[in-house]
Amino acid sequence: MIDVINTIWPATVAVLVLLTIYVGGIRYLRRRADLKTEHDNIRAQLAVTLAVGIAVVGVILALPIENNLRNSLLQLFGLLVTAVIGLSATTHVSNAFAGLMLRSRRAFRPGDFIRFDGHFGRVTDMGLFHTEVQTEDRDLTTVPNLLLVSSPVTVIRATGTVISANVSLGYEVDHRSVEVALLAAGLEAELVDPFVHVVELGDYSVSYRLAGLLESPKTLLSSRSRLRTAMIDALHRAEIEIVSPTFMNQRQVGSNETFIPKIAPPATRADQVDAEALMFDKADMAESVERLRDRKAAIENELKEVEGRGDQELAARLKRTIETLAGAIHARERQKDQSP
């Protein structure tokens, strides 16, 4: 009995030590990365994967077995790891490599609008295996990272994007009058540097495009709607009919009759719903978390410089600010995870 205990206890102690290091290391990494939830996160998942691999190797080395058997087990484990890496072109491993590639490229981040493979929405979460996107219908779409790496992805820049709308008018309307009216519509829609292009000379009509810079992409969908509404109002104010030239062939009307609706009072801001806030609520939370992380990282860098100068008072204030930001990040993460 004593011989058995003497044979087993070194392996048992080694396993307990490895488990302690494993659990402590994971908790430390999660605190460092402000990981307070069980959601997918690149650092946590990589840490878990590496810790499991190290723990398996450590257990094999600590087992009270012959060296030949130990070497065989290590070779078997190495073959399994090699086989998993060799199958990286498929299934979960390929998505994991794609997730690492997306993180290293930093093409987009939570809160950004992206368009890919016929889908459009705002990024709410970037995991190791998948990316979560909130669509215009407020639904959450889980996208494999491999799809985002292998397909073209359009990212709408946070510094602004150009939005546009087209309208077709008859040849009897002077294009200079149209340009004046559409430029006024662009300014009314709060676009920066609006411009007008003639995009097509059709058989029966001329196609115009009004475009301009939208400085706040967060209101992208509502701004597109406001742009089209402003175009209708501006053209009607200029007494320009928005009607196909073939309309006369479909319905006989008087030569002096026009088809400009009576101007109604516009809806007030109180009557309008913030569509983007409703559609992309979780994306807004994800974006706010990213901003808090950036601010926290900037203050941490500043703290290192302050500590190097020996300014203890300022260092203490910066540490309190970092703790406050960490708490805010934790609260926002929990709020995002609990959102329906």
Give the pLDDT of residue 71: 80
Tell me the three state secondary structure of residue 79.
helix
Task: State whether residue 262 is helix, strand or coil.
Answer: coil
* pLDDT tens-place string over residues 167-218: 998 888 888 889 999 999 999 998 988 899 999 998 888 899 999 989 888 8
* Residue stretches of the chain with pLDDT short of 70: 1-19, 21-48, 62-64, 85-91, 244-255, 259-284, 335-340
Whether residue 205 contacts residue 169, with contact meaning beta carbons closer than 8 Å, is answered with yes
* 40-82 tens-digit pLDDT: 455 666 666 777 777 777 777 766 677 777 788 778 878 887 7
What is the reported pTM?
Answer: 0.54
Q: Which residues of 238-262 are buried (b: 16+ CB within 10 A; e: fewer)?
A: bebbeeebeeeeeeeeeeeeeeeee
- What is the model's pLDDT at position 279? 52
Supply the pLDDT for residue 268. 54
**Burial group, residue 283, by CB count within 10 angstroms (0-12, 13-18, 19+):** buried
CA distance 31 to 177: 63
pLDDT (0 to 100) of residue 38: 40
- For residue 228, the model assigns a pLDDT of 94
Map residue 133 onto helix, strand or coil: strand
Longest dimension (CA), the chain: 113
The pLDDT of residue 270: 47
